[in-house]
Amino acid sequence: MLNRTVMTGAAPSIVLLVVLLMTGVVGVGEGVTVIALIIAGAVWTARRTETLTPVPPAETPVDTEPVERRILDELPDPVILLSASRNIISANQAARKLFNITEMGRDLTIALRHPAVLDAVDLSLAGSTPDPVEFELVAGVPVTFEVQVAAVPRPNDEDGVRVVVLLHDVTGTKRVDEVRADFVANVSHELRSPLAALAGFIETLSGPAKDDPAAREKFLGIMNNEAQRMTRLIEDLLSLSRVEANEHIRPEDEVELETVIGEVVDTYSNRCTESGNSIDVDLPDDLPSVLGDHDQLSQVFQNLIDNALKYGGPGKPVRVTASPVERLPESGTHGVAVSVQDQGDGIPTDHIPRLTERFYRVDKARSRGLGGTGLGLAIVKHIVSRHRGHILIESTPESGSTFTVTVPTFSQDPQDLSDR
Ligand code: ADP
């Protein structure tokens, strides 16, 4: 391009010079010098022009439609494009799969018949902006979608308008909202009962039982229990929120499970003496240390042993055993499994999968009567998950339950750590 510009710019001057040379007006030496100057000037001018005038990019014809289609197909959310007569013009892969759309050009009802969605489409075709609509698709596991419908006017198209229907799966978000609402309701309920009891006794003590020392003694004892129950509940709620806050950060310390379990068992010695229980600890001598957080692991065994004593019943032994595990499914590394076994009534099988949910209790009154908050196993689950381990609950009605917690072993090998 530069050469052509240079030659175009210099050509008239060169032609004139050649004529002057041929007619003898200019000598040969002078002529050559002048030609060199003309070409240099033309080069300079051409370069300058080039920097001042942006060169338009080369136009490569691009067929954009397949690209758009591919992008739409990659979207996890179903998208359907409709004509003004509500026929399906196009549907991305997610929509085709979800509604089994094999043919274009058919009415939307062939895929989606929900009245609220059809109303939104009709409103949109009539020029309004409909609010998002929610609908539940029940095919196996129910899935809730939020559907947004928007008209895309096409003035140059004989069809006039097109409507885009976008579906977004909000099942997870709705579940989180429900869990949050349930949690707040549960906490309020759990705090309201002891508070109501306290308020009632305060009223009785300042009124009818004012001058009754025996009643005062009895009521103060109950009030003390209720106050302790609220304290335990608040402590457990704080523990749960602390555990959840750092669940994504992996513990890094080397922890000797033998020490942790020994410390926890010691704290129960007085209680065992009173209730006639025993805690038998049977750990192998060469139990490897684990990668963990000492205080959190201590809380795990405290909650499990506490439950085993509570639900195992007075006079029944609790057994704590441990063994190495070759390969943990969660981390792919070696691990240690610790089991806490009681000889209580056991747990009906259908309750087992829900035991680690917050406030889930097989028998609410029994749990409350034994001082339970319904949060112990939820705390255990979150701590174990932070340790990249797992919890297994096995129970045989009438003969007892075994709670087994598995955590990865400690390793000095950095490769091992990064793999986990
Ligand atoms: P709680 O404070 O009620 O004990 P947890 O979260 O520790 O709460 O346990 C949830 C429920 O699981 C308990 O209410 C009880 O019904 C059941 N559970 C836990 N451990 C045992 C056990 N060792 N034996 C029988 N049931 C148990």
Which segment of 62-66, 155-159, 318-322, 367-371 scores lowest on mean pLDDT?
62-66
Distance, C-alpha 263 to centroid of its chain: 35
Q: In whole angstroms, give the CA distance from residue 239 to residue 255.
A: 20
Q: State the pLDDT at residue 362.
A: 95
pLDDT at 224 over 80: yes
321 pairs with which residues across the strands?
282, 339
Task: Answer for the pair 205, 219: CB distance below 8 angstroms, yes or no.
Answer: yes
Q: What atom of ligand 1 comes closest to residue 367's alpha carbon?
A: 3
Task: Answer for the pair 276, 242: CB distance below 8 angstroms, yes or no.
Answer: no
The residue with tokens 């009785």 is 204
The preferred substitution site among 367, 398, 401 for testing ligand 1, maximizing ligand atoms within 8 Å of CB, is 367
How confident is the model over 57-88, as pLDDT tens digits? Answer: 444 444 456 777 888 889 999 999 999 899 99
Task: Give φ, ψ of 113 to 5 degrees.
Answer: -110, 5
Q: In whole angstroms, give the CA distance from residue 303 to residue 367.
A: 13
Q: State the pLDDT at residue 15.
A: 43
**Ligand 1 lining (C-beta closer than 6 Å):** 303, 307-308, 311, 342, 344, 347, 355, 360-363, 367, 372-378, 401
Burial 61-76 (b: 16+ CB within 10 A, else e): eeeeeeeeeeebeeee
Atom 16 of ligand 1, nearest CA residue: 362
Q: State the pLDDT at residue 397.
A: 87
Using the mean position of ligand 1's atoms as its centre, give its distance from the Cα of residue 307 in Å: 6
pLDDT at 257 over 80: yes
pLDDT at 43 over 70: no
Split at pLDDT 50, 70, 90, the class of 150 is very high
Q: State the pLDDT at residue 25.
A: 43
Task: Identify the top-confidence range among 25-29, 128-132, 151-155.
Answer: 128-132
Q: Is 110 exposed, middle or buried (0-12, 13-18, 19+ CB in 10 A)?
A: middle
pLDDT at 8 over 60: no
Q: State the pLDDT at residue 72.
A: 87
pLDDT at 26 over 60: no
pLDDT at 387 over 70: yes
Q: In whole angstroms, give the CA distance from residue 284 to residue 170.
A: 49
Task: Answer for the pair 180, 244: CB distance below 8 angstroms, yes or no.
Answer: no
Q: What atom of ligand 1 comes closest to residue 361's alpha carbon?
A: 14
Q: State the pLDDT at residue 157.
A: 60
